[in-house]
Structure 1
Amino acid sequence: MTGNETLEQSRARVTKAISQNMNLYGVSPSMGRLYCLLFFSNEPLTLDDMKEELGMSKASMSLAVRTLLDLNMVEKTWVKGVRKDLYVVRDDSYQRFFDYFINKWRPAVTMNTKAIEETISELEGLVGNSDESQEIQEHAQTDMEKLQGWLDYYDWLGRLIDSFETQEIFNFIPMKKKDVQKDET
């Protein structure tokens, strides 16, 4: 096998794996192939370049690029003398993960916490209310205790999200394994 064949085969292997797992970011495998095309490219690419390489329609390519831009996985770049939009990979895997995790989980934590707090407040009105049956009061108390566990979880999850935003997470889980070994000695 020639060096070029080995290079193409190794890139194809990575592209296949990345593409199959892009659902973790809520995108299709074709967007994963596009991302890998940009990743392995040594120069910025236009929509036409990408369309030709991947055989996707211009509309699909445009949607895929917009989606990857929204996920902060790629970015537009400028090259003197080139009038078309050019794109490159935004190659900060850690920040990309943080951005995605934060953008997906922060709204969910906020919405769920608000709903649980409102529910606990309503249930507090049932507990100890002489107009309610003992059974209703007991169910309300049990529900409040269960919901408090969820509030504790969402508090923890909120702090985890905060640690991603501030990058304090790296104090506990360094980027490189060798940094952990240095800290342990």
Structure 2
Amino acid sequence: MKGHEILEKSRTSVIEAISQNMNLYGVTPSAGRLYALLFFSDKPLTLDEMKEDLGMSKTSMSNAVRTLLDLNMVEKVWIKGVRRNLYVVKEDRYQPFFDYFTTKWRTAITMNTSMIEKSIATLQELLAHPETTEETRKLAHCVIKKLDNWLDYYGWLNRLIDSFETKDILNFIPIEKRKD
């Protein structure tokens, strides 16, 4: 196998691996291939260049680029004399993870915490009702205790998310560069 073929096979393998794991960011494999293509490119690419390389439709390509822009994983760049939009992978690979992680988890925590708090309030009303049986009271107290444990967990998750947003997490798990 010639050197160029080895390089291309290696590049293709990595592109495929990245594309299959981009679902962690809620991204389709095709958007993942686009991201990997931009990662390997030594220059900014237009939609047409990406379309040609990946064989995707212009609509699919445009949607994938928009998704990656929204996730802060790629950015538009401007080069004098070029009229078409050009795209590159953002240099900071950590920030998109922080952004995606915090957004997804904050949304889930808010929704779950709200539902748990409403359930606790409903159970407390049940406990306050004079006709509630002792057996029902015991069950309600047990459920409230379990729900309080969930609220403790979500409080911990909120603090973890705060550490991602402030980047305090990097004090505990610093970014380290591989040594060549």
How far apart in 2 are the matches of 1:177 and 1:61? 32
- What is residue 58 of structure 1 aligned with on the other side? 58
Deviation by residue 1:152-179 (Cα, 9 ceiling, x = unmatched): 110011111111000011111111288x
How far apart in 2 are the matches of 1:55 and 1:10? 19
Deviation by residue 1:59-114 (Cα, 9 ceiling, x = unmatched): 11111111111111111111111111111101322111111101111111111111
> Aligned pair 1:136/2:136, yes or no?
yes
Report how far residue 2 of structure 1 moved.
2.8
Asked if 2 retains the 8 angstrom alpha-carbon contact of 1:98 and 1:165, the reply is yes
- What is residue 162 of structure 2 aligned with on the other side? 162
Amino acid paired to 1:12: T
SS in 2 for 1:174: coil
Asked if 2 retains the 8 angstrom alpha-carbon contact of 1:127 and 1:138, the reply is no
> Aligned pair 1:67/2:72, yes or no?
no
TM-score (normalizing by structure 1): 0.91
Q: Percent identity?
A: 64
User: Aligned runs of 1:1-185 on 2, under 5 Å?
Assistant: 1-176=1-176
SS in 1 for 2:43: coil
- What is residue 182 of structure 1 aligned with on the other side? none
Report how far residue 131 of structure 1 moved.
2.1
Give the CA RMSD over aligned residues.
Answer: 1.5
Report how far residue 128 of structure 1 moved.
4.9
How far apart in 1 are the matches of 2:32 and 2:126? 52
Asked if 2 retains the 8 angstrom alpha-carbon contact of 1:69 and 1:75, the reply is yes
How far apart in 2 are the matches of 1:52 and 1:132? 70
* Residue-pair matches, total: 178
How far apart in 2 are the matches of 1:80 and 1:120? 61
How far apart in 1 are the matches of 2:40 and 2:124? 58
Amino acid paired to 1:161: I
Amino acid paired to 1:20: Q
Which ranges in structure 2 are unaligned for 5 or more consecutive residues?
none
Which ranges in structure 1 are unaligned for 5 or more consecutive residues?
179-185
- What is residue 181 of structure 1 aligned with on the other side? none
How far apart in 1 are the matches of 2:91 and 2:5? 25
How far apart in 2 are the matches of 1:177 and 1:117? 44
Asked if 2 retains the 8 angstrom alpha-carbon contact of 1:18 and 1:32, the reply is yes
Report how far residue 14 of structure 1 moved.
1.0
How far apart in 2 are the matches of 1:142 and 1:38? 54
